[in-house]
Chains A and B, each alone.
Chain A
Amino acid sequence: MNFNKIDIDNLQEESLEKVSVRERRTFMKMGLMITGVFAGGQILSVVSKVNEVFASPSEFVEKYPYKPHYSMVVRQGLCIDCELCVRACKKTNEVPDYGYRTRILTKKVSDAVGRKKEFIPILCNHCNEPPCCRACPTKATYKDTNNGIVMMDTSKCIGCKMCVLACPYEARYFNEERHAIDKCNFCYDTRLSKGKTLTACSNVCPTGARIFGDISDPENVVYKMVHQIEKQVWVLRPESGSKPNVFYMKATRSSPWDLRRQADAR
């Protein structure tokens, strides 16, 4: 096979600044289509998810079963593993040393070009179809009918650990001090019910990797981040069918929502 000789001196610059918005958009759409076709099982692009879950985009907001429908977007690329969120969570919710409500996982791709490590924060996904609530024999864990948070009624917990087994996200552990299973409740008792708008973890996140908000409100940042087609949004373990409310997306510092921190923090 013959190749044309590369004219190095007259090469055009191909840095990101030179790429037009239009070109960028076409490329992303192409990527979305490709992932939609090939990675259907593992990654759900929001386009396909929207069509799957909701009838048409106009009915969108009304279709969210809760008001406010608390939700979190984790911008995976922004997490730097400082663990401020884990510490804030422990302090706010009195989480003992042997347990955690949220955690940061490390993904290492040693043969990647450039950055080789990525951090994935995990927490309770506050699923719309929570397997834990179905599993619990005494309704000790339940989905709050107002805001969709998966809550614990500690006095009813018999400690069978069925919910720990049922959870697809390993979000539960037995808390000795409470004599019950403990889990993330989006800081409902410690912050949200006291008038604060953010969870402890999203409040302290220095890079804006954790964005918290109401997904049923079109003005909310979470709504805007999820309901777009330019960036891929996915959820963890979609195959479990639990319809989680914690969304993941890739983000870099040049993201359209370049939030270094969530605006209404503190």
Chain B
Amino acid sequence: MAKISEERAARWGYTGFSALVSSKVQLSILALLGITALCAYVVGLHGTFTGYRHVYGVTRQIPWGLLISGYIFCVVTSTGLCLVSSIGHVFGYEPYMPIAKRAVFMSIVFMLAGFTIIFFDLENPFRMAIFNVISPNFRSNMWWMGTLYGLYLLALCFEYFFLLEQNHALSRFTGFFGLLFGVAAHSNLGAVFGMLHGREFWYGPYMPIYFIVSAMMSGGAAIIFFTCFAWMINPEILDSRKERAIKAVSQLTIMLISIILFFTLWKIISGIVAPEKFVAIKAFIVGPYAPFFWIGEIGMGLVIPLILLVRSKGLNVQLMFIATGMMLIGIFFMRYDLVLAGQIVPVFHALHVEEYSALLNYVPSFHEIAVVTGGLALAGSLFILGEKILNGHQFQKHEIVPPGAFICPGCGGIHYKKEGETSEQALQRHHRMIKTKIEE
């Protein structure tokens, strides 16, 4: 690894790998996650050499399974982290600013995890690198999705570099492009499904819209989860300003969960009146996939976290941690349901032939589970690694505080001082404490 100068290390909050040894528990968790990821990739490579047909559960009728769900989960979370954090450090809404560094870091991490998973799904991943460039199909959503995600990752890396450098003007500029590519790439991922006119369940503009909104929901959940997790690892980095940021994010997440609940509800209701869609919807409401839908997607992904987040009032760290942790698991089920629902009804179902009278079945194989576990373990280990060696992603200097303003020690917000005012007086004015004093 390249040597980082002392001055730069101080600016980045880089504490070196020696910081890892500080806690044996954390180090062993990191080692465990790292070993899990490595083992999983060995299993994945075994699949590559024996042929995926022999080791994966996907079939001709259901060509996309757990790996695509895992990939979607990762890139959705990545896009969401980028979208939610950009409210602060791109659009300048102050309460969201303190979350930016960790969010962008995790956004890159999840993108990498997603790419490792998709690597094991593609039969010829190396051909992709060549023919994506020399033989592009501009009509293909898949091509746009892949290319835009590449650009998105590039923009994110620049954005994160400038965040580390504390060059907030450039990080805002690159962050804007990251956001642009992220939204474009992600809506294209939705369109990969939404523009399949041979698949009724997915076809329509619903998918891209749903993908963007649910990405924001996942992003909100991930930010809360990883920030609360970071506070558990190192409680010292908790300050009133970050608390305030998390409260703001939790409010946004509550709203987004409600929106996704309505999206899901209307997808079901509209599906009930369409005969072919209803077959798939029925399989998820009362059929074999009902536990995934009701317990996983609706229970763990939406309803229980909604209640817990409302109850936590954005202050109870442990409750929020449990709620969002549960939510991330639920969101995984959500992606799995989404990928499967479009495929379990055979394309010739309406032909009423014997071969396709029943719903198709898919069970993930050991290799598929291993590869997805590997991707998620990679994300987990990189999270702990980043948390430790980058000193909890803290801003070293608050350069985002505009001149003439200060960070309130009471509420954590940024207050502006009037001419000739001290910080103390400004604080009292902002919090209506002056009046109270006069009344006293």
Contacts and interface: CB of A to CB of B under 8 A. Distances in A.
Contact of B351 (A107, A139, A160, A166): A107
Contact of A138 (B51, B61, B135, B197): B135
Interface stretch (A144-152, A205-213, A217-225, A233-241): A233-241
Interface string A215-252: 00000000000000000000011011110000000000
B135 A158 contact: no
Contacts of B60: 99, 164, 170, 172-174
Interface stretch (B126-134, B228-236, B285-293, B383-391): B126-134
A38 to B, nearest CB: 16
Interface stretch (B30-38, B252-260, B342-350, B411-419): B342-350
Contacts of A29: none
A106 to B, nearest CB: 5
24 contacts: A105-B353, A105-B355, A106-B353, A131-B196, A134-B195, A135-B141, A135-B196, A136-B137, A136-B140, A137-B136, A137-B140, A138-B128, A138-B143, A155-B127, A157-B124, A157-B127, A158-B128, A159-B122, A161-B58, A167-B347, A170-B346, A176-B51, A179-B123, A242-B197
Contacts of A180: 123-124
Nearest to B61: A170
Given A120-B353, A169-B198, 16 more contacts: A105-B354, A137-B146, A139-B136, A155-B127, A157-B124, A160-B142, A162-B140, A162-B192, A165-B199, A166-B196, A170-B346, A172-B60, A174-B60, A176-B53, A240-B197, A241-B197
Chain B interface helix/strand/loop/mixed: loop
A112 B135 CA distance: 52
A174 B350 CA distance: 25
A158 B121 CA distance: 10
B139 interface: yes
A138 B146 CA distance: 11
Interface string A107-135: 11000000000001010000000010011
**Interface-centre pick from B136, B198, B355, B356 (highest chain A CB count, 10 A):** B198
Interface residues of B, number: 43
Contacts of A3: none
Q: Which are the 3 A-B pairs with shortest beta-carbon distances?
A: A159-B123, A168-B198, A137-B143
Contact of A107 (B125, B195, B353): B353
A98 B135 contact: no
B232 to A, nearest CB: 39
Contacts of B124: 157-159, 179-180
Contact of B197 (A131, A156, A157, A169): A131
B176 to A, nearest CB: 27
A108 B146 CA distance: 44
Interface string A85-108: 000000000000011000001111
Interface string B132-160: 10011101111100100000000000000
A237 B354 contact: no
B137 A138 contact: yes
A176 B139 CA distance: 27
A257 to B, nearest CB: 25
